Amino acid sequence: MAEPIRTTCPYCGTGCGVLAEKSEAGWTVRGDPDHPANFGRLCSKGAALGDTLGLETRLLHPLIGGQRVSWGEAIGAVAEGLAATIAAEGPGAVALYLSGQLLTEDYYAANKLAKGFLGTANVDTNSRLCMASAVAGHRRAFGADTVPGCYADLEEADLVVIVGSNLAWCHPVLFQRLAAAREARGTRVVVIDPRRTETCDLADLHLALAPGSDVALFNGLLAYLGASDAIDRGFVEGWTTGYAESVAAAWADAPSAAAVTGIPAADLVRFYEWFAATPKTVTLFSQGVNQSSAGTDKVNAILNAHLATGRIGRPGMGPFSLTGQPNAMGGREVGGLANQLAAHMDFAPGNCDRLRRFWNAPAVAEAEGLKAVDLFQAIGAGKVEAVWIMGTNPAVSLPEADAVRKALARCPLVIASDCVADTDTMRLAHIRLPALGWGEKSGTVTNSERTISRQRPFLPPPGEARADWWMVAEVAKAMGFEAGFAWEGPGGIFREHARLSAFENEGRRDFDIGAAADADYDALTPFQWGERRMFADGGFFTPDGRARLIPVRHRPPVAVRSAHYPFRLNTGRYRDQWHTMTRTGLSARLSGHRREPLIEIHPSDAAEAGLADGALVRVESRHGGYVGRLHATPAQRRGDLFLPMHWNDCFAASALAGRLLSAHTDPISGQPESKHEAVRVTAFAPVFEGVLIAGAGLALPGIPWWVRHKTAGAEAVELAGDREEQAAALLAALDGHFGTPLTFRDPARGVARFAWMEGERLRAVLFLASDGRPEPARSWLAGFIGQELAAPLERAQILAGLAPAGAPGAGPILCACFSVAAATIAQAIAEGKLTSVAAIGAALKAGTGCGSCIPEIRGMLKVSA
């Protein structure tokens, strides 16, 4: 076997090192034992990377208006379109919308073209939806966007506070590192989240706060700390400003903290006592904090508590912002946000001038550009007339998604670069450019702890796909900017980026990787920028070198519940899907965990509303509707609903979270409040439900509700309708496609089943039921699609939909590594045979691969105990 290729996982900001190895069977991946983020571990998504390398959904050639064109024509059209828009309307009419999934080199090139050569600062990124509040909070407190700590702090802490983060599902390898440390040293863990998530598996205390009440909770903490002897007076006096005002503001909220958060006072005090008594405390935070109209204040409320206690920059302590995307940090370093320039510089005149000289740039943007939500509103209003979208799917991920779609539909020039041909955004693009994907592209990414690692290619470029930086450079050259964009590869871009970070820096800016400019790019090993831990002895990047405590007050989320919209909606992530599913949706292994979106609700709320567990329901907000299956669970607070952000029009009818959300934003960071909306929930009341299993991509004319998912080499479609004619129309369409089916009907039970054959080969099966959902063994059946059926017995079994004993069952898969169904584990537990995670692992293998499912297994054991 050849030497493995050392690269980095393209999913979450943990930034795990991956070894890609070629074997007879193709490329396989495993965790890189030498990478400092994961030391060999991978989660379910990382472990399934090999399943997502297929080309079936890829865009392989440039397209203009749906017609294949050459690269020369495509680049020419982009360059001419941008130039014509600038000539007619000025540079502000042109925008770039980028992504934390681009590599640093791609991101640097795009930002340089826009902010240095086109003269527009209308360059924003999906990090606006993700990290903007953390960035703004860091800059307010530290004078720079610095994450002070490192992952080892999680392992050295005595108390870890996890705020608004479902670490077990969203940063699973960090969760495993924390779990191991807790096992070894008894780390105390507090989880602050309105939902009882899988992350609570490690929690000594779970504070199920009212959504949006984090500032009140942390103000209560600061007031408590101020009144106890936990304040580090030396640090506060020597290295901070704003302490007295911040404690005064905290006292204004503190008396109502229990009422506002809805947390029993005794639990709050317990948390405050633990925090006060534990110097080695790390506070991790993520989207429950950032995605809020008070996101920046939430961040500063957390930073205040750490600054007041001097718990920053020393082993085992500090506030820690978990970054979501693999290169959210790299994007911040190159200035991908509309209110930043490159290399962590802002728009101060000296910085603009420095960039002008360094880049020899003709048109450096002098003022901040439009932030994502405002940018798409400006497109809708006709103020921005050309937009180039790279590596993100805003038609899905932005709030008020229908307004975003309308804006793109009326925009004269929409250019989109993606590795996938069909996404909700690509459907709206005039010019579609094929990008290289993971395993093909080459460059660097920066993870949550400031470690820069290489992504290395191991696959040839498919079709005519090209690197994102290459497209940018070609467009720049076609617009006459040859000199600034003459790089031969990503290494040259990285060296320029490194040199810029050191240019006239002299310690004034936190981001300085000048030393890496001379490193051997191809051999680059992971390295962390800055000190291992920052700010232990002050040295903040504010004008006076002191950190700022910021006085903040509780503000509720903008969307208010009413008699019409009595529920609070919260949205977020599932363990095995990544965002809009363009890659994870290709893997049967990953799609088995949650094959359709669930609408989670407290059982008492469901009962009061007369809604049955497992029934289809409709959620509606002022902006739109969403249909999904109700899942009643005590993990939800009363009055709150949760649904996933992943599904979209390519994977489902009517399951797009962004369509429900208002575009309310934080006034400082501009980050949208994607975690809060006021909604109602009502029965969908189908007259039939069904499951269709066939090859991919069948049209479903007239079916009002469907969800597609991959299963064992075929596609399963869960579907439902509210009129009998819809079922008849679907049957007619399938007959038209496949011919006459074998049929089984039991009208008394409202059951009908169909199997379409071509000779002895099975083409498709459809199960319909008028009373609840049919439950055929989906993945077992899927295994027969395209196969010749051996015997009449098999035909009979297929129409029965029943798998023989031992075949994969009907329900969701809990353990993605070994395809162990949730039902199999539940049954073993119910029979009393298996009573621990270890016993389940030994008997069923579940949990013995990547370990991502262990919190769920332990949850099942707890429920049965």
Residue 326-365 contact track with ligand MGD, rule CB under 6 A, x = bound: ----------------------------------------
Find out whether 752 and 765 touch, Cβ atoms under 8 Å. no
Find out whether 661 and 623 touch, Cβ atoms under 8 Å. yes
> 324 vs 841, which CB is nearer to Mo ion?
324
Site for ligand MGD in 151-210 (CB under 6 A): 163-166, 169-170, 192-195, 197, 209
CA atoms of 653 and 708, how far apart (whole Å) = 9
579 binds ligand MGD, rule: CB under 6 A = yes
Residue type for 691, please? V
Report the candidate in 101, 100, 222, 210 with the shortest Cα–Cα distance to residue 164: 210
Exactly one of 246, 286, 293, 296 binds ligand MGD (CB under 6 A); that residue is 286
Spatial strand order in the sheet of 67-68: 67-68, 63-64, 431-434, 413-418, 386-390, 94-98, 123-125
| Six token digits for residue 327 | 């290169």
Instruction: Please state the closest distance from residue 251 (CB atom) to ligand SF4, in A.
Output: 40
Report the candidate in 672, 658, 590, 532 with the shortest Cα–Cα distance to residue 128: 672
> 220 vs 288, which CB is nearer to ligand MGD?
288
Instruction: Please state the closest distance from residue 712 (CB atom) to ligand SF4, in A.
Output: 23
126 binds ligand MGD, rule: CB under 6 A = yes
Look at residue 15 and give the partner it binds from ligand SF4, Mo ion, ligand MGD, none, a contact being a CB closer than 5 to 8 Å depending on partner kind. Answer: ligand SF4
571 binds ligand MGD, rule: CB under 6 A = yes
| DSSP symbols for 456-475 | ---SPPPTT-B-HHHHHHHH
Report the candidate in 98, 559, 637, 100 with the shortest Cα–Cα distance to residue 292: 559
Look at residue 46 and give the partner it binds from ligand MGD, ligand SF4, Mo ion, none, a contact being a CB closer than 5 to 8 Å depending on partner kind. Answer: ligand SF4
> 102 vs 734, which CB is nearer to ligand MGD?
102
Find out whether 258 and 269 touch, Cβ atoms under 8 Å. no
Instruction: Please state the closest distance from residue 689 (CB atom) to Mo ion, in A.
Output: 34
Shortest-Cβ-distance residue relative to ligand SF4: 46
Find out whether 276 and 311 touch, Cβ atoms under 8 Å. no
Instruction: Please state the closest distance from residue 787 (CB atom) to ligand MGD, in A.
Output: 31
- The window from 372-380, 656-664, 782-790, 823-831 that contacts ligand MGD (CB under 6 A) reads 656-664
Instruction: Please state the closest distance from residue 397 (CB atom) to Mo ion, in A.
Output: 9
Residue 82-111 contact track with ligand MGD, rule CB under 6 A, x = bound: -----------------x-xx---------
Look at residue 16 and give the partner it binds from Mo ion, ligand MGD, ligand SF4, none, a contact being a CB closer than 5 to 8 Å depending on partner kind. Answer: ligand SF4
241 binds ligand MGD, rule: CB under 6 A = no
C-alpha dist (Å) from residue 392 to 129, 423, 600: 11, 10, 27
Instruction: Please state the closest distance from residue 757 (CB atom) to ligand MGD, in A.
Output: 36
> 62 vs 324, which CB is nearer to Mo ion?
324
| Six token digits for residue 692 | 């269709």
652 binds ligand MGD, rule: CB under 6 A = no
| Six token digits for residue 857 | 């297994």
Quickly tell me which residue has 């017995």 as its tokens: 793
393 binds ligand MGD, rule: CB under 6 A = yes
Q: Exposed, middle or buried: residue 285 (CB in 10 Å: 0-12, 13-18, 19+)?
A: buried
- Chain centre distance of CA 130: 8
Quickly tell me which residue has 């610095």 as its tokens: 146
- Chain centre distance of CA 216: 27
Q: Which residues of 164-193 are buried (b: 16+ CB within 10 A; e: fewer)?
A: bbbbbbbbbbbbbbbbebbeeeebbbbbbb
- The window from 137-145, 394-402, 505-513, 857-865 that contacts ligand MGD (CB under 6 A) reads 394-402
| Positions that interact with ligand SF4 (CB under 6 A) | 9, 11-12, 14-16, 38, 42-43, 45-46, 171-173
Instruction: Please state the closest distance from residue 10 (CB atom) to Mo ion, in A.
Output: 13
Which spans of this chain sit near ligand MGD (rule: CB under 6 A)? 12, 99, 101-102, 126, 129-130, 163-166, 169-170, 192-195, 197, 209, 211-212, 214, 286-288, 291-292, 324-325, 390-394, 396-397, 417-420, 423, 435, 437, 441, 468, 570-573, 575, 577-580, 582, 645, 657-658, 661, 674-675
